[in-house]
Amino acid sequence: MSGNIKLLGDTLAAAKAEGRSALIAYLPAGFPTVDGGIEAAKAVFDGGADVVEVGLPHSDPVLDGPVIQTADDIALRGGVKIADVMRTVREAHQATGKPVLVMTYWNPIDRYGIERFTAELAEAGGAGCILPDLPVQESATWREHADKHGLATVFVVAPSSKDARLAEITAAGSGFVYAASLMGVTGTRESVGAQAQDLVRRTKATTDLPVCVGLGVSNPEQAAEVARFADGVIVGSAFVKRMLAADGDLADGLAGIRSLAAELAEGVRQQA
């Protein structure tokens, strides 16, 4: 069974055809529970997200700030497993028909087995993987299996990336390029800043892939700002914060993230 890389590409192209950025939401699997995480993914789609990234909780999430670390810890203490991540992808995609990716560090895939992971993700209807800590020069085996199963391989670029390095990364990637808006970890910021715009400009000079910006976007104003120069706006910590603020009340948490998705979806539709 083939994964949904084409659906991902079509979704990003459709947003562009509407003259706007795509809204990409991130939520960890298993948070606050496996069932609750599945409902959360559906809720952000209901609110207006175009794509969802399902995080595979990790004990040492080097790219993630304290908010997502807290959610990961809750999921891990709840016993979340890779099978639960696959179930989250499957149910979120089946319920909406929209593209769902997995964001994961490399170690869990390496331990699970590349062929097993890619085959199961494709079977679940996944669109691909975001791999923030897999070096491009060590990614050939992964990309071979991902390509075979119709899965996108999304790499992360940072403001520190030199132009030659950007070209190397974008040549190896597929689906889209994840541009980290600033140096550091995920979390909400007061301003996304000019660094992100410069990084998108430099990245676009190397590739025809869509370039989507994450790290720091938390409100409609920031989403609108980033949407003026990026093909997609990625929001994670702000959604997780809403779920955490519900303090165990799942219905309240789902209402909060559905509402935030609607606000952000409006933000990416604002004209410059």
> Per the residue annotation, which of 18, 35, 46, 64 is the catalytic one?
64
Q: How far is CA 103 from CA 27, 37, 89, in A?
A: 9, 14, 11
Contact in structure between 67 and 242 (CB atoms under 8 Å): no
pLDDT (tens digit per residue) in 115-133: 999 999 999 999 999 999 9
What pTM was computed for the model? 0.94
d(Cα 84, Cα 30) in Å, to the nearest integer? Answer: 7
Q: Mark whether 53 is an active-site residue.
A: yes
108 and 82 Cβ atoms separated by less than 8 Å: yes
What is the distance between the alpha carbons of residues 143 and 139, in angstroms, rounded to a whole number?
6
The confidence score (pLDDT) of residue 216 equals 79
Query: Residues near 202 by Cβ (< 8 Å), separated by ≥ 6?
Result: 161, 163, 166
> Of 53, 72, 91, 231, which is the active-site residue?
53
**Per-residue confidence (pLDDT) for residue 85, from 0 to 100:** 98
Indicate the residue type of 99: P
Q: What is the DSSP letter of 138?
A: G
Overall size of the chain counted in residues: 272
Residue 246 gets which letter from DSSP? Answer: T
Question: Distance between CA 162 and CA 145 in Å, rounded?
Answer: 28
Q: How far apart are CA 194 and CA 162, in angstroms?
A: 17
d(CA 85, CA 93): 12
The set of residues, in sequence order, having a beta carbon less than 8 Å from that of 191 and lying 6+ positions away, is 216, 222
Cα distance between residue 252 and residue 257, in whole Å: 9
Helical axes 82-96 vs 114-123, angle rounded to 10°: 30
Q: Residue ranges of the chain with pLDDT lower than 70?
A: 1, 61-64, 182-193, 271-272
Structure token pair of residue 214 = 């994450």
**How far apart are alpha carbons 103 and 212 in whole angstroms?**
14
